[in-house]
Amino acid sequence: MLPETTTKVANNAITKGDVLGAARIAGIQAAKRTADLIPMCHPVLVGSVSINFSIGDDHVEVEAQVETVDRTGVEMEAMTACTVAALTVYDMCKSADRTMTIEQVALWEKAGGRSGPWRRTDGLTPA
């Protein structure tokens, strides 16, 4: 996004309101509804969802952490949370900046489940 847009987000000066607050709520709701959005995705009892944002000069980075005690992992819930939060940022900021893009949705780390722990090691770096 344009640097002017990140400044507006950081200063809570977007006309639609609190961008990061709305995006956090949207991401949490999306994590809880992932099985309704993605065919063949197992419904999972989501125990907790946290959405964090980092504001750079020309971007807002979104990170989600999802936890469960259910039978399967929550990777899809975490990536859905990030994506919907990013779409919410776009929706709330589009009147100020239509050049924004959403990039690099990726799993960084997981723990638990049948396949055990996993951490990204391919050199892909966040924005």
- Chain segment 27-75, per-residue pLDDT in tens: 999 999 999 999 999 899 999 999 999 999 999 999 999 999 877 789 9
A 10 A CB-CB count for 47 gives 11
Which tokens sit at 102?
A: 């959403």
Residues ≥6 apart with Cβ < 8 Å to 32: 46, 49, 77
Residue 69, pLDDT score = 86
pLDDT at 72: 79
Domain-wise residue ranges, the chain: 3-119
CB atoms within 10 A of CB 65: 15
> Do 60 and 54 touch, CB atoms closer than 8 A?
yes
Q: Are 74 and 44 in contact (CB under 8 A)?
A: yes
User: Which residues are designated catalytic?
Assistant: 91
Look at residue 125 in the predicted model and tell me its pLDDT. Answer: 67
CATH number of 3-119: 3.30.70.640
Provide the pLDDT for residue 127.
54
C-alpha distance from residue 72 to each of 14, 19, 79 (Å): 39, 32, 15
CA distance 101 to 25: 21
Q: Per residue in 82-93, pLDDT tens?
A: 999 999 999 999
pLDDT tens, residue by residue, 63-84: 999 999 877 789 999 999 999 9
